[in-house]
Amino acid sequence: MVWEQRWHPLREEWVVVAAHRQDRPWSGDTVAASTQAELPRHSPECHFCPGNERVSGQRNPDYTGIHVFDNDHPCVGSDAPVDLDVPHPHYRNRPATGIARVACYTPRHDLSLSRLGVDTTHAVLTELATQYRELGARDDVDHVLVFENRGEAVGVSNPHPHCQIYATNFVFRTIANEAATCAKHHAATGRALLQDILDAERADAKRVLTENDSAIAFVPYFARYAYEVFVAPLRPVASLADLSDSERRDLAAALSDVLVRYDNLWQMPFPYVMAFHQAPTDGREHPGFGFHIELHPPLRKPELLKYLAGPEIGGGNFLSDTSPETKAAELGALPSTHYRSDP
C-alpha cells in the first residue's frame, strides 16, 4: 500500500498518492469500452486523408509520408481579430496571434503512432524538430507546443493519426513554470533538474520501462496519473532540435516501446495526452531546461476515467489512486510487440 505525499520537482507541488483507494466501490459513469471498429485505410469523410477536401476547401495532396498543414480550426492565427473591446480597464485582452498546425504521421487512416514502428516515429520526430526550429525562430512566437490527443476519452473526433503544433505568442503555463524551476535548480546546483530525476529513476530502476544508448522511458516517482510515462533523452537538451539524428532515433525507439505497451495493456487503442516539453523560443536563456515527452493517460481501468474534481480542479493538486511502482510493473511485464502486428 502506498499512502503518502510525493513531491513533483518539475511542477513544485505535492502529489497525494492514496493507492488504497483504487478499489473503492464505484457506482458512477464508466467510459464505453472501445468498440475497436475496423477503420478503413482511407476514409472519404476524413479531412486529413490524402486527396480529400478539408474544411477550408483546400485539398490535401496525395502525400505518402508525414504531412504538415495549417489547422483549419486554429485557436491562434495570423488572421485573429485585432479590433478588440475591453469591458473594463481592470481587465486585459489581446489578439490570439500565432500559428496552429496539424502533422499527420501517415496517410493511413487506420493506423496509430503505436503501430507505425521506430522508423516512422523517428521521421515524425525529425519533422517536429524542423517545425520547432522554423516556428520558434519567428519573432511573434515565444513557444512551440507539440501535443497529441489520442482517443475519444480525451475528446478526439478524428482517429486519423496526427499531432498538433501550437506556435504561440505566449509560453504555456506548464512550460513557463518548468523553465523557471529548472533555471532555479541550475543556479543552485549547476545541474539540469531533469538529469537529477533521470539519475534517481535509473538508480531506483523500479519504474524504468525501457532504456537504450541515449534515451529512457519511465513512470515517474511523482506520477499524477495512472500509467503516466516520461520519455527523455539521457543527455539534457532544450528541444528535439538539439538532439543528434541517432539520439532522435533512440528517443523514437523508447517512445514507440511505450506506445506499444500502452495498447497491449488492455488490447485496445490506449487513450492519452502526449506533450513535448521543449524550451520556450522567446529569445531568453533557459539554463538547465530538460526536454522530455510526457504521456498522460485519462483511464485508470479500461472503462474508468480519472475524474479531475475537488483536489485537482478545486485545489490544483493531484490525488492519485494508484501506485506508480505497481503501474510501472504492469507496463513493464507486457510484450514490446504490438498485439496487432499487422500493419
- Span near Zn ion by CB under 5 A; candidates 65-73, 104-112, 226-234, 264-272: 104-112
Output the residue with the shortest Cβ distance to Zn ion.
46
Task: Kindly report the number of other CB atoms within 10 A of residue 217's CB atom.
Answer: 28
Q: Is the dihedral of CA 310, 311, 316, 322 positive or negative?
A: negative
- 328 contacts 210 by C-beta, under 8 angstroms: no
Contact flag: residue 255 with Zn ion (CB under 5 A): no
- Comparing CB distances to Zn ion, the nearer of 49 and 253 is 49
Contact flag: residue 227 with Zn ion (CB under 5 A): no
In the chain, which ranges are E strands? 3-8, 13-18, 67-70, 98-104, 143-150, 162-168, 208-211, 215-218, 229-233, 272-277, 292-296, 299-301, 304-305, 319-320
- 105 contacts 125 by C-beta, under 8 angstroms: no
CB of 34 to Zn ion, least distance (A): 18
- Span near Zn ion by CB under 5 A; candidates 121-129, 158-166, 208-216, 255-263: 158-166
Nearest Cα residue to 247 out of 292, 303, 187? 292
Contact flag: residue 109 with Zn ion (CB under 5 A): yes
CB of 186 to Zn ion, least distance (A): 43
Contact flag: residue 160 with Zn ion (CB under 5 A): yes
- Comparing CB distances to Zn ion, the nearer of 51 and 335 is 51
Contact flag: residue 48 with Zn ion (CB under 5 A): yes
Query: How many of the chain's residues bind Zn ion (CB under 5 A)?
Result: 6
Assigned C-alpha cell, 86:
475591453
Contact flag: residue 124 with Zn ion (CB under 5 A): no
- Comparing CB distances to Zn ion, the nearer of 98 and 107 is 107
- Comparing CB distances to Zn ion, the nearer of 51 and 155 is 51
Contact flag: residue 49 with Zn ion (CB under 5 A): yes
Contact flag: residue 108 with Zn ion (CB under 5 A): no
- 255 contacts 243 by C-beta, under 8 angstroms: no
Strand order in the sheet with 143-150: 67-70, 98-104, 162-168, 143-150, 272-277, 292-296, 229-233, 215-218, 208-211
- Comparing CB distances to Zn ion, the nearer of 161 and 324 is 161
CB of 106 to Zn ion, least distance (A): 9
In the residue annotation, 277 being an active-site residue is answered as no
Contact flag: residue 163 with Zn ion (CB under 5 A): no
Catalytic residue selected from 143, 162, 292, 296:
162
Contact flag: residue 291 with Zn ion (CB under 5 A): no
Residue 253, strand partner residues: none
Contact flag: residue 230 with Zn ion (CB under 5 A): no
CB of 343 to Zn ion, least distance (A): 15
- Comparing CB distances to Zn ion, the nearer of 18 and 68 is 68
Task: Kindly report the number of other CB atoms within 10 A of residue 145's CB atom.
Answer: 20
For the range 281-287, what are the long-range contacts, defined as Cβ-Cβ under 8 Å and sequence gap of 24 or more?
Answer: 281/132, 281/135, 281/136, 281/137, 281/141, 281/142, 281/143, 281/144, 282/142, 282/143, 282/171, 286/179, 286/182, 286/183, 286/238, 287/182, 287/183, 287/186, 287/187
Contact flag: residue 46 with Zn ion (CB under 5 A): yes
- Span near Zn ion by CB under 5 A; candidates 17-25, 44-52, 285-293, 315-323: 44-52
Return the active site residues.
162
Residues that bind Zn ion (CB under 5 A): 43, 46, 48-49, 109, 160
